[in-house]
Amino acid sequence: MARATGIAVWTRIAAQLREDIASGAIVPGGRLPPEAALASRFAVNRHTVRRALEDLARDRLIRIEHGRGSFVAEPVLDYQINLRPRFSEWVRRHNREPFGDKLSLRMIDPADLPECTIIREVLGLAAGEPVLELLRRGTADARPLSLSRHIFPARLEGLHAALLNHATITAALAQIGIADYLRLRSRITCRMPTPRECALLELERDAPVLHCENVNVTAANTPLELCFAIYPSHRVALIVEPTA
C-alpha cells in the first residue's frame, strides 16, 4: 500500500476492505484473514490494519471477536412487530424474495407437545381436541431467516388441505374464509438453538436466536393460531413502535 498520497493509509485499507466485502469477495458471515495476514498483504504494521478494522466495526460492517477473528456482518432485516404478521410482505418490503419451506404438517393432540398448557388455554381447546401443527422455514433470497411452528385448532374446516395447497398462511386462511388475522400478543425471549435448528437455519452453534410466541386472532377476535418462531439474531432484529 503506497504512502504519501495525502490520505491516511488506514483509510485506504478500510476502503479496500469495504470493497472486498461489497463485492462479495468475503461472504456475509465469513471470516476475514487474521490481522497479521492483512498486515503482510498491505505491507503495513498490524496496528494500521487494526485501525482500519476498528473503522469497519464502528460501522457494523464487521464484528471483531476477541481471540476468534473478524467476521463480515450479515445484513440484518428489521421486522416490525405490528398488528398483522405477514412474513412474505415483510421480506418483500426489504426487496428480497421470500419463500416458505413447509417442513411438516400433521394433526396432533396438544398433550403430546411440550407447550400443551399454553396451547389449550390460548386456543380455547377442550381436552383431547386435536390441533394442526405446521413447521415452516422462512427464507429471503434463499437465506434462512426463521423457523416457525404454527398451531391451529384442527376443527377449522379444510385448513389441512389449504395449508398444503398454498405457499403462504395468509392464502391458506383466505381459502377457508378467513380474510384477515391479527396479532394479539407477542412474547419475546431468546435462547440457544438446537443442533437441528442450526442445520435448518445454517447457523453456528454459538449464535443465539430470538424466540417469539405469537397469539394471533381473527378479525372477530376469536383465537386462531399460536405461533412459535425463532430468528437468528445476526440476521433479524425486531422493531417495536408503540402507538398509544
Partner DNA sequence: TTGTATTTGTCCGTATGTATT
Partner DNA sequence: TAATACATACGGACAAATACA
| Residues 172, 165 contacting (CB under 8 angstroms) | yes
- Of the pair 40, 117, the CB lying nearest DNA is at 40
Among 52, 125, 210, 226, binds a second copy (CB under 8 A): 210
At how many degrees (to 10) do helices 35-42 and 9-22 cross? 110
Q: Is residue 66 at the binding interface for DNA, with CB under 7 A as the rule?
A: yes
Q: Is residue 65 at the binding interface for DNA, with CB under 7 A as the rule?
A: yes
C-alpha cell at 75: 445484513
Among residues 187, 205, 189, the alpha carbon closest in space to that of 197 is found at 205
CA distance 70 to 30: 9
Among 184, 198, 200, 217, binds a second copy (CB under 8 A): 184
| Residues 205, 198 contacting (CB under 8 angstroms) | yes
Distance (Å) of CA 220 to CA 121, 157, 178, 184: 18, 17, 10, 12
CA distance 229 to 138: 10
Which residues 6+ apart lie within 8 Å of 3 measured at CB? 9
- Of the pair 35, 55, the CB lying nearest a second copy is at 55
Minimum distance, C-beta of residue 124 to DNA, in the bound complex (Å): 24
Among 57, 61, 174, 176, binds a second copy (CB under 8 A): 57
CA distance 43 to 36: 10
Q: Is residue 45 at the binding interface for DNA, with CB under 7 A as the rule?
A: yes
Q: Is residue 67 at the binding interface for DNA, with CB under 7 A as the rule?
A: yes
> Which does residue 45 bind out of DNA, a second copy, none, counting CB within 5 to 8 angstroms by kind?
DNA
CA distance 138 to 168: 10
Q: Which range, of 20-28, 39-47, 73-81, 144-152, touches DNA by CB under 7 A? A: 39-47
Q: Is residue 44 at the binding interface for DNA, with CB under 7 A as the rule?
A: yes
> Which does residue 183 bind out of a second copy, DNA, none, counting CB within 5 to 8 angstroms by kind?
a second copy
Minimum distance, C-beta of residue 3 to a second copy, in the bound complex (Å): 25
Among 4, 6, 157, 206, binds a second copy (CB under 8 A): 206
Among 22, 30, 40, 47, binds DNA (CB under 7 A): 47
Minimum distance, C-beta of residue 2 to DNA, in the bound complex (Å): 10
Q: Is residue 192 at the binding interface for a second copy, with CB under 8 A as the rule?
A: yes
CA distance 105 to 180: 22
* Segment 58 to 87, residues that bind a second copy, using CB under 8 A: 58-59, 76, 78, 81-83
Q: Cα 230 to the chain's mean position, in Å? A: 7
Among residues 115, 106, 111, 37, the alpha carbon closest in space to that of 70 is found at 37
Binding site for DNA (CB under 7 A): 3, 8-11, 32, 34-36, 43-45, 47-48, 50-51, 53, 64-70, 195
